[in-house]
A = this chain, B = another copy of it.
């Protein structure tokens, strides 16, 4: 139950007493939170500059936009394309890149630093997950993240520019492509039109490319790196296999369910040929788990689809990715732990491997903190606004899971509610455990108490 967040051993490693004073002792949750907060502060200032916008925006609008960009959420209170100047859009693009890529890089550094700090068993775990053990390879690995991301984005920019060049001319095609490639790979969900990607709902090349980018970004770095290094299924780690299979299964199941739910909805897919129905069902099946782009009018989808989308947002994507939610790994462990208990087995297993008990406890803690956060968010917004429960639940889930889908109330809710959404995006991006870290100061206890029994269920 120790080591719930890997410590950066640059900061923690014990040094000779004489050197101690020079060591700055901050744990990763603190560094992470401070880094994101600083980035948001800088972003807020830059976006508030007169030449960042076509018409003046309020401080709250600036804070909301900067937070949404840094946390790669994509919820907006102003129309991004119409409000911001070229400078403003460049700032937003950089905030997205720093928030998305920066987080992935930091997560890698934090996870890899496990290697030098703890016992052989954990080193083997770190090796299995990260394929890295030595501190020497940290730099190389972090570099690999950056290179992989930039290469993926560059390919997307080239492809989109070629597709759009006849329509929009070279400069506009290139600029738009860059914005969308960065926004998509980082699962940011930022768009240039108030309709989202609805204008492109029949440009299958664009919507499929965007969805491929954010599905990859949402897998999580360790999975991408594992695939990139190993290339063969049988060589993949248990975690990589689990994430890939779960992603495939959930995406296809969700596509089928949403297709059925929207089949007769003339406001969404009812009037389309079957292949456009398929592409848009696919898009709205995969977008809720991290990206937040929409090719259909989210508010016009059936309420049943909205309820189903709540579940997808709650689950989220891979760990150490641009996605939010409780994360796919957590979801898998919750289901496996329940199944294990019902079958009266002793240990949770996955692909013939045992899942350690403390990971199950971690999954439990993540889920409870997350449920608590969401409940408080919904409850607060219900009190502050006279809006339908479904819209508020959707908005709160979307912010907490850094998804960015909205049924259209983001700009409509009270200022206090928008500040709450800012907090939810921030907390959702840092993850429930980082939040929990600030709530409960870690403190080890060495007393052992006799066992008791509590009635459950």
Contact = CB atoms under 8 A, between A and B. Distances in A.
A315 B444 CA distance: 29
A441 interface: yes
A73 interface: no
Interface in A357-371: 357, 359-366, 368-369
Q: Give the secondary structure class of A's interface.
A: helix
A334 B364 contact: yes
Interface in A406-434: 431-433
B353 A341 contact: no
Contact of A452 (B343, B355, B451): B355
A121 B363 CA distance: 29
Contacts of A362: 341, 456-457
Given A1-B340, A342-B436, A443-B344, A239 B457 contact: no
Interface stretch (A48-56, A179-187, A323-331): A323-331
Interface string A297-316: 00000011011100100000
A456 B327 contact: yes
A319 B451 contact: no
A171 interface: no
A364 B379 contact: no
A165 interface: no
A442 B390 contact: no
Contacts of A368: 334-335, 337-338
B365 A440 contact: no
A100 interface: no
Copies of the chain in the assembly: 2
B327 A455 contact: yes
A215 interface: no
A151 B33 CA distance: 59
Interface stretch (A38-46, A156-164, A381-389): A381-389
Given A304-B383, A339-B440, A432 B454 contact: no
B389 A365 contact: no
A20 interface: no
Interface string A185-229: 000000000000000000000000000000000001010000000
A338 B334 CA distance: 14
Contact of A329 (B332, B333, B342, B456): B456
Contact of A308 (B222, B346, B379, B454): B379
Nearest to A441: B343
A437 interface: yes
A72 interface: no
18 contacts: A1-B340, A1-B346, A261-B383, A306-B389, A307-B382, A327-B457, A333-B454, A337-B368, A338-B368, A341-B365, A341-B436, A350-B452, A353-B449, A353-B450, A354-B450, A354-B452, A388-B388, A433-B457
